[in-house]
Amino acid sequence: MSQRIYIFKRFERFWHWSQAALILFMLVTGFEVHGSYSLFGFAAAAEYHTTAAWALITLWIFAIFWHFTTGEWRQYIPTLDKALDMLRYYLSGIFTHAPHPFRQTQLRKHNPLQRLAYLLVKLIINPLLWISGLLYMFYGSWNDWGLGWLSLSWVAVLHTLGAFMMLIFLIAHVYLGTTGHTPGAHLKAMITGWEEVED
């Protein structure tokens, strides 16, 4: 038997889907700027990438403010409680229809591995992209800021590394999003806010 609980608030869903759209668009335009293919043309892709970057930074500022004012930041505090159980579930249990070792609640939306993954994104991948991207954007001001010793090629490599890390996270995130009690259950929850959990 299952029950419905309200897990994802309206702003959380807006933030999630807006961020997803902006990140996908920035991956498309960023890899074009990198020379992987031609879709918009280099100049337009670079301009679109920069515009999307400012929109994403603005969204992140609002999201950080929302997380801290609502206390939702606590959802990302890492824990190793049941982490091994979750790892076993994702590696084998999910394929043998084993019971899910984690029960979602309003106060515990993310299982231990999700918490670690989101913490990696928030503390490693996002700052790497922010810092390298802003440095890249303001390359002309490096000497004024005392950063003339930096290598533009290394900043570009770090930004590209961050982009690949984000792409890997995105692929894993989409896959794990299909691992609910039905393949679309988590997707539906991120649209409606309501998650069905087993009693």
- CA-to-CA dists, residue 25 to 32, 129, 187, angstroms: 11, 15, 20
Residue 82 resides in a domain = yes
| Domain tally, the chain | 1
Q: Which of 25, 4, 15, 1 is nearest to 195 (CA)?
A: 4
Q: Does any domain span residue 190?
A: no
Is 191 part of a structural domain of the chain? no
Burial class, 71, CB count within 10 angstroms (exposed 0-12 / middle 13-18 / buried 19+): exposed
Is 2 within a domain?
Answer: no
Quick: pLDDT tens for 126-143.
999 999 999 999 999 999
Residue 139 lies in a domain: yes
pLDDT higher at 190 or 182: 190
* Cβ count near 146 (within 10 Å): 8
CA neighbor of 145 nearest in space, from 130, 131, 124, 162: 131
Q: Is residue 30 part of a domain?
A: yes
Domain-located, residue 33: yes
Find the domain containing 170 and state its range: 22-185
Q: Per residue in 47-95, pLDDT tens?
A: 999 999 999 999 999 999 999 999 998 988 888 888 899 999 988 888 8
Question: Is the pTM here over 0.85, yes or no?
Answer: yes
* Percentage, residues of the chain above pLDDT 70: 98
| CA 128 to each of CA 18, 65, 123, 159: distance values in angstroms, whole numbers, following the listed order | 20, 20, 9, 7
Report if residue 14 sits inside a domain: no
Could you tell me if residue 41 is left (phi over 0), alpha (psi between -120 and 50 degrees) or otherwise beta? Answer: left
Q: How confident is the model at residue 1 (pLDDT cuts 50, 70, 90)?
A: low
